Amino acid sequence: MFKPLLPLVLAAGLALPALAQEANVKKAIEAKLGAPVTSITKAGYLGLYEVYFDGQILYTDEKVSAILAGNLIDAKTMTSVTEERMKKLNAIKFSDLPLNQAIKQVKGNGKRVLVTFEDPNCGYCKRLAKDLAKLDNITLYTFLYPILSEDSIKKSRQIWCAADQAKAWNDWMLKGKVPAGKEDCDTTAIINNQEFGQKLRITGTPTLFFADGERVGGAIPMARIEQKLNSIK
């Protein structure tokens, strides 16, 4: 009668030492780093522990005798274990994004969805804008995220206060036409974007979010954007 419970009891007994060891590693590595870490898990390679700290991954052994930084490569597949883990750790719940605080553009049927956090004075954002202008059947949400200068804040306010926000944004990013908006509307959304971006540890622009929650930093190639958008069902 009680036999089916036995594997569960044994599994629980085995899990306790593992959890205790992770707790010990966490305490020791935090002492070394002088700051709290977000998570500690077994990396699955060489007995290493994965340490997720300040938006990055480090590795250490159970005695914290060494700390490794950089990509961990799976020798069988020659893929970066670190990059794959970062995708998962940095992924978000897409429904948590406050899309009402973004500039919305719909092209074609709008079925594919892409979110970007951008600074109007970001050169890489302007490069990305040229690629995004070529996309069809897409809904774009652009969060104004001025982090480069006071002028970035001014331009963001002017764009947000424009009668046609999308046109004002595209005119500036694609044509260099300075926004003519007055800054006399409610620009709370921009402040909220800055606070929200900080919570997500967005430190550079552009930062992209796809509908499956994957986060990508930087102006990635158009082909990669298309491939990712088409892979999401």
Q: What is the pTM of this model?
A: 0.77
Domains and CATH numbers, the chain: 3-90 (3.10.450.70), 94-231 (3.40.30.10)
Distance (Å, rounded) from C-alpha 170 to C-alpha 186?
A: 21
CA distances from 74 to 62, 65, 81, 83, 157 (A): 20, 23, 6, 11, 47
pLDDT at 11: 44
Dihedral of alpha carbons 144, 138, 105, 135, sign? positive
Distance (Å, rounded) from C-alpha 117 to C-alpha 136?
A: 20
pLDDT at 112: 96
pLDDT at 4: 55
* Mean pLDDT split into 10-residue runs, the chain, 233 residues: 47 56 88 88 90 89 90 92 85 91 97 97 96 95 97 96 96 94 90 95 94 90 93 86
Closest by CA position to 225, among listed 112, 146, 68: 112
In this predicted model, what pLDDT tens digit does every residue of 15-54 receive, in sequence order?
Answer: 456 677 888 888 898 898 888 888 898 988 999 999 998 8
pLDDT at 7: 52
pLDDT at 17: 62
Helix (H) / strand (E) element for 124: namely: helix 123-132
Helix (H) / strand (E) element for 89: namely: helix 81-90
Distance (Å, rounded) from C-alpha 228 to C-alpha 225?
A: 5
pLDDT at 176: 95
Phi/psi region, residue 42 (left: phi>0; alpha: psi -120 to 50; beta: rest), is: beta
With 0-12 CB in 10 A as exposed, 13-18 as middle and 19+ as buried, what is 25? buried
